[in-house]
Amino acid sequence: MTATTRATPPHQAAPADAAAPAGTAAAAPEKDTPATPWGADPYADALRSGRGPLFLRRSDGWLLPLEVERWCASADSADMSVLRRCEGAVLDVGCGPGRLVAALSSLGHRVLGIDVSPEAVARTVGLGGTALHRSVFEPLPGEGRWGSVLLMDGNLGIGGAPEALLERCARLLAPDGLLLAETSPLDVDERAQVRIDDGRSVHHPPPGSGRPFPWARLGTAALLRYAAPAGWTTAGQWESGGRSFVALRRP
């Protein structure tokens, strides 16, 4: 989720290796995990209704708006400016309700979405996509074989540790693979503990919001500062629809 920004079923997912690059073994079976922050009621409710309000709330009360309506709509022109750069089989990390998985499928890509929210996975599968209820840091099909990895809608913030996320993406990508990331349009490099909040409750934390979790917000300059020492090379930087994007080649 980037700034004004973004975040970024009972499901019957397709087989775990269905969208993986050829020659890839199936993923490990899904695990029953305790309630995760993105499985919290406010987020699941927002995805079911297709609208907010929804926020990430810091402990000091600051709210980061999440663009639920955009996530639940079809891919827009800014999204397409990213998707047309994808190469080979694509892994959409934090796929949300599946608009990018659906759009990539229509462009002829093999694509797999992953998300820690069961409701997000359900929405993606409901659009005809392939998705797994899984974290990017868990074992995944096709490790080391993906042509492109997406970190859209603020998902560059996953885990609150950009260095660790970049390292993980490098292990997922094939040699010379492409990481396509959405950055905050602000010049920011921030780590925080946050909760999901619908902005309606007088109680903090609101009921059903789940436990706090680490998150990060990075502008383009901050992302490049982390990427360069790790050996990533910049393949492109651009803006579209008021949003900012970076393409990086795997080290």
Reading the chain (251 residues) residue by residue, the pLDDT tens digits are: 433 333 332 222 333 344 555 443 333 333 333 345 655 589 999 999 999 999 999 989 899 999 999 999 999 999 999 999 999 999 999 999 999 999 999 999 999 999 999 999 999 999 999 999 999 999 999 999 999 999 999 999 999 999 999 999 999 999 999 999 999 999 999 999 999 999 876 556 555 556 899 999 999 999 999 999 999 999 999 999 999 999 999 98
| Residue 60, both tokens | 């000091």
Specify the CATH architecture of the domain 37-249: 3-Layer(aba) Sandwich (3.40)
Domain ranges of the chain: 37-249
Stated length of the chain: 251
Is the whole model's pTM more than 0.75, yes or no? yes
Residues 22, 27, 33: CA angle, nearest 5 degrees: 155
Beta bridge partners of 56: 64, 196
Beta bridge partners of 239: 244
Strands 111-115 and 90-93, bridge-based pairing: parallel
Residues 95, 119, 51: CA angle, nearest 5 degrees: 85
